[in-house]
Amino acid sequence: MGFEQTKWVWHNGQMVAWDEATLHVSAHALHYGTGIFEGIRCYETASGPAVFRLDAHLDRLLASAAVYELELGYSREELTEVVGQVIERNGFASCYVRPICYFGSHSLGLHAKACPVEVAVLAWPWAPLLGAQGQQQGVRITVSPWVKFHSRMMPTTSKACGQYLNSILAVRDAYKRGFDEALLLDSDGNIAEGPGENLFLLKDGKLFTNDESSSILLGITRDAVMQLAADCGYTVAVRKLRLEDLLTADEAFFTGTAAEITPIREVDGTPLSQGRCGAVTRKLQEHFNAVVHGKNPRYHHWLHFVSAPVEKLANAAD
């Protein structure tokens, strides 16, 4: 989906119409990618729109800002309020939310010391990154010729704008060769992650994933799935993953805010889980969907309700 339904954007402290949320062509971030951002999902629930793990996303946003020395000028509490305002003002029941902070226009020297920091929050309806069909049937992926950058090159645990050029190259190559998505290896030849997703695989009833030592972004959905998998009785081991681990896995899937939980059914022509979504992946998808839509009270603390849930209002009245 495009941005047709988005009417309002919060930009530098004000709610502005979509067409007015602009930046100058001399903005430092436009030329050098000097910005940081988050991708967050808001889901429809019986108690109204609820943002999934907003606190964790804002924690990571502020940590990324600190790495790149971006002084946001807004507190976590203010940003929390802004996210809710953007969702409400646009009338969304569910949507994808993108806070972004970047160096604006002043000079184009590499050191952005005098450039102002601009902050914006926008939202729009966005289907799963790899499609509803991909979530149901699984996606075909290919090992990218591009390598994920090492943490000594750029901080892999920060979510910065310019860093995604690496992912864009991988995605374009995969699409040109007829695949749904790419898989990047790290500089040591181990599995890193997808262009915008973390990876899990299942072998002999046990789940495996990797960590920052494999040049990954520590995904918030990844963390959620690790906890939900434990609820379902699965052991999750964190270690380096080789390509042969994936090719011999019983099941594999991607996780991410945009992709949610998307099964992998093929890697460069090698089928996984008989070329379809495996039973464990499907179970985790169902568990995850119940949580984000407010159907599992145990995880209500992961949901930031844009309007207070009915039960909370009732408790307050008591």
List all residues 6 or more positions away from 109 whose beta carbon is below 8 Å from its beta carbon.
Answer: none
Res 307: pLDDT? 81
For residue 303, tell me if it sits in a domain.
no
**pLDDT for the residue numbered 251:** 98
- Regarding whether 137 and 113 lie in a shared domain, the answer is no
b/e burial code for range 261-270 (CB count within 10 A of at least 16 → b): bbbbbbbeee
Orientation angle between helical segments 220-231 and 54-67, nearest 10 degrees: 140
Q: Which range of residues forms the domain containing residue 256?
A: 132-295
Clarify whether residues 140 and 113 are in a common domain.
Answer: no
Do residues 34 and 95 both lie within one domain? Answer: yes
What is the number of domains present in the chain?
Answer: 2
Q: Residue 120 domain-assigned?
A: yes
φ, ψ dihedrals at 160, nearest 5° = -110, 150
Q: Do residue 42 and residue 149 come from a single domain? A: no
Which residue positions in the chain have pLDDT lower than 50? 309-318
Residues marked as catalytic = 159
* Confidence at residue 110, expressed as pLDDT on a 0 to 100 scale: 95
Asked if 148 and 285 sit in the same domain, the reply is yes
Whether 180 and 289 share a structural domain: yes
What is the per-residue pLDDT across 160-189, written as a single tens digit (0 to 9) for each?
999 999 999 999 999 999 999 999 999 999
